[in-house]
C-alpha cells in the first residue's frame, strides 16, 4: 500500500497602507505580510514573507522559503498592463543567505479578470561553488477571490525545503 504525505497549507495575509494623508497613492508604502504554514509529520514549517511596495518599487524579505534556516532579500520593479484583463508583473533579483547562500533572479506575475486570477512565482537559485545544486523554484495558483479576504483555487509548487517523494506538489 502506498503511503501519501498530506501537506496542508494555511495562508495568513495582512495588507496595510501607510497612513499618509493628502498624498498620491504612489507616495504611500503598501505592506503585505503572509505566512505559509505546512503541517508535516512531526513538524510544522512556517514560511513568512513581508513585502513593501511604493509606486513601482518592490522590496521583499522571506524566511524558510528557499531552504530551512535561510533568509532572502529581493528588490524589483512593478509593471501593470490592461484594465479588464489585468497583468501585474515584478521581475526582481534576490540574495539568499543562511543554510543556503546563492543569488536568485525571480519573477512574480498575476493575470486577473474580475474575481478570477492566475498567479505565478518563479526563481532560479545559482550556487557558484557547486553548480549541481542550482535549483528552479516555482509556485502557480489558479483561483477565484469572491472577497478581498478570501480566495479559493488550485495550486502547484516545486520547492526543496521539505523532501517528499514528489518533485512537484499539488493541492487545493
Q: Which residue has the higher pLDDT, 20 or 160?
A: 160
At 20, the pLDDT band (50, 70, 90 cuts) reads very low
**Whole-prediction pTM value?**
0.75
In the predicted structure, residue 104 carries a pLDDT above the cut 80: yes
Q: 49-61 pLDDT, tens per residue?
A: 999 999 999 999 9
- What are the C-alpha distances in Å from 159 to residues 20, 34, 36? 38, 18, 13
At 169, the pLDDT band (50, 70, 90 cuts) reads low
Full 3-state SS string of the chain:
CCCCCCCEEEEEEEEEECCCCCCCHHHCCEEEEEEEEEEECCEEEEEEEEEEEECCEEEEEEECCCCCCEEEEEEEECEEECCCEEEEEEEEEEEEEECCCEEEEEEEEEEEECCEEEEEEEEEEECCCCHHHCEEEEEEEEEEEEECCEEEEEEEEECCCCCCCCCCEEEC
- Please compute, for residue 53, the number of CA atoms within 13 A of its CA located in the half-sphere on the CB side: 17
Amino acid at each position: 500500500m502506498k503511503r501519501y504525505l498530506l501537506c496542508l497549507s494555511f495562508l495568513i495575509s495582512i495588507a496595510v497602507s501607510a497612513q499618509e494623508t493628502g498624498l498620491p497613492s504612489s507616495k504611500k508604502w503598501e505592506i503585505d505580510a503572509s505566512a505559509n504554514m505546512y503541517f508535516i509529520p512531526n513538524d510544522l514549517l512556517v514560511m513568512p514573507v513581508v513585502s513593501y511596495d511604493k509606486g513601482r518599487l518592490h522590496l521583499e524579505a522571506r524566511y524558510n522559503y528557499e531552504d530551512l534556516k535561510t533568509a532572502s532579500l529581493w528588490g524589483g520593479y512593478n509593471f501593470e498592463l490592461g484594465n479588464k484583463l489585468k497583468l501585474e508583473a515584478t521581475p526582481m533579483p534576490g540574495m539568499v543567505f543562511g543554510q543556503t547562500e546563492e543569488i536568485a533572479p525571480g519573477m512574480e506575475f498575476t493575470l486577473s479578470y474580475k474575481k478570477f486570477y492566475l498567479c505565478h512565482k518563479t526563481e532560479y537559485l545559482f550556487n557558484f561553488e557547486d553548480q549541481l545544486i542550482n535549483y528552479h523554484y516555482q509556485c502557480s495558483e489558479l483561483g477565484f477571490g469572491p472577497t478581498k479576504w478570501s480566495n479559493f483555487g488550485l495550486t502547484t509548487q516545486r520547492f526543496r525545503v521539505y523532501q517528499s517523494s514528489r518533485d512537484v506538489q499539488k493541492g487545493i
